[in-house]
Amino acid sequence: MRKKITLIGAGQIGGTLAHLIALKELGDVVLFDVAAGIAKGKALDIAQSSPVNGFNINLSGTSDYEDTKNSDVIIITAGVPRKPGMTRDDLLGINLKIIKEVADGIKRTSPNAFVICITNPLDVIVMALQKYSGLPKNKIVGMAGILDSSRFIYFLSQELKISVNKIRSFVLGGHGDSMVAMLGSTKIEGKKIGELIKEGKITKERLGEIVDRTKKGGAEIVKYLEKGSAFYAPAASGVEMAESYVNDLKKELPCAAFLSGEYGFNNIYAGVPVIIGKSGVEKIIQLKLTKDEEAAFKDSVKSVQNLYDAAKKIDPDL
């Protein structure tokens, strides 16, 4: 039987997710939004492309959680995106309220779903979603690391004139300015990045600039767009997670997952490599970090912890 995939939030990312899922025939799509017209309009528009693109799934739009009942996968983008000059953390108060409402809706109607959260500030919102909904921690996961890693790999490929397919890397930690590009685990055509520096293919300084551009990758797009934030690459990243779950691909993907002792942290969500398969987050991969990476990762998780403390002050229910 085809899977039922609900997208909570039918904005820029929600609409793109629906389109990609339709093209891949990953499942039937329900687009949910408080603005019902946007959800219905986008569902109908994408459905009308099915004769051209030759896909065969059902798409519908709604603002009623009953229509999302028994979803297999839920991807959440409900919330407000950044405006130029804003940090992701500035969205905390408003998106926390929205996520509380969403948590209540999905807990009532789809308690067995695999839930992917994309709403910012990501790590704190996904943690709040888990707390509010009480759904199992291995079934609630945040999308950020795939996008941050993808940005880093793209920038490296442009710099080195090497196909993105030949570069492997992870960006981990919190999805904010403190995110950590794991240079020790970065491989380019099988070679460690340190070897490329020795060979004179890239300088340390240039590499530093690329890491910095990755950290500010979202803000660069916000500035260009003037209205709204990135949506194509975020949607593609969310779909990769959904696909690994639906088709039990057991891919190793950097995602915001609940840590219970891994990397020395407890009771907090942060970006780490995980295996996603039919049971959800099936395993957290423990990478060997260099001393510098370990220190940067700790700092990054601490900033997530600080923001979660700020969230608790906003809502004592957390």
Residues in contact with ligand A3D by CB under 6 A are: 8-14, 33-35, 38, 77-82, 91, 95, 98, 101-102, 118-120, 122, 143-144, 147, 175, 228-231, 234
**Across the beta sheet with 187-188, what order do the strands follow?**
167-168, 187-188, 191-192
CB 74 within 8 A of CB 46: no
User: What is the number of other CB atoms lying within 10 angstroms of the CB of residue 246?
Assistant: 21
Side chain identity at 67, as an amino acid letter? D
Residue among 160 and 229 whose Cβ is closer to ligand A3D? 229
Given 3-state DSSP classes, what are the helix, strand and coil percentages for the chain, each rounded to the nearest 5?
A: 50, 20, 30
At its nearest, how many Å lie between ligand A3D and the CB of residue 211? 17
Residue among 105 and 280 whose Cβ is closer to ligand A3D? 105
Residue among 12 and 169 whose Cβ is closer to ligand A3D? 12
43's tokens: 């569902």
Report the alpha-carbon angle 56-61-66, nearest 5: 110
Catalytic site residue from 175, 263, 289, 301: 175
Q: Do the strands 187-188 and 167-168 form a parallel or antiparallel pair, or are they unpaired?
A: antiparallel
E strands in 68-170: 73-76, 114-117, 140-142, 167-168
* Furthest CA-CA distance within the chain: 60
User: For this structure, is 19 an active site residue?
Assistant: no
Residue among 104 and 292 whose Cβ is closer to ligand A3D? 104
Residue among 81 and 173 whose Cβ is closer to ligand A3D? 81
- 284 backbone dihedrals φ, ψ, rounded to 5°: -105, 130
Q: Residue 75 and residue 258: Cα distance in Å, rounded?
A: 17
Residue nearest to ligand A3D (CB): 11
3-state class (DSSP) for residue 28: strand
Residue among 9 and 254 whose Cβ is closer to ligand A3D? 9
At its nearest, how many Å lie between ligand A3D and the CB of residue 188? 24
User: What is the number of other CB atoms lying within 10 angstroms of the CB of residue 154?
Assistant: 16
Q: Residue 115 and residue 53: Cα distance in Å, rounded?
A: 28
Residue among 119 and 130 whose Cβ is closer to ligand A3D? 119
At its nearest, how many Å lie between ligand A3D and the CB of residue 233? 8
202's tokens: 């890239």
Of residues 41, 1, 49, the one with CA closest to residue 22:
49
Of residues 24, 72, 73, the one with CA closest to residue 46:
24
Active site residues: 175
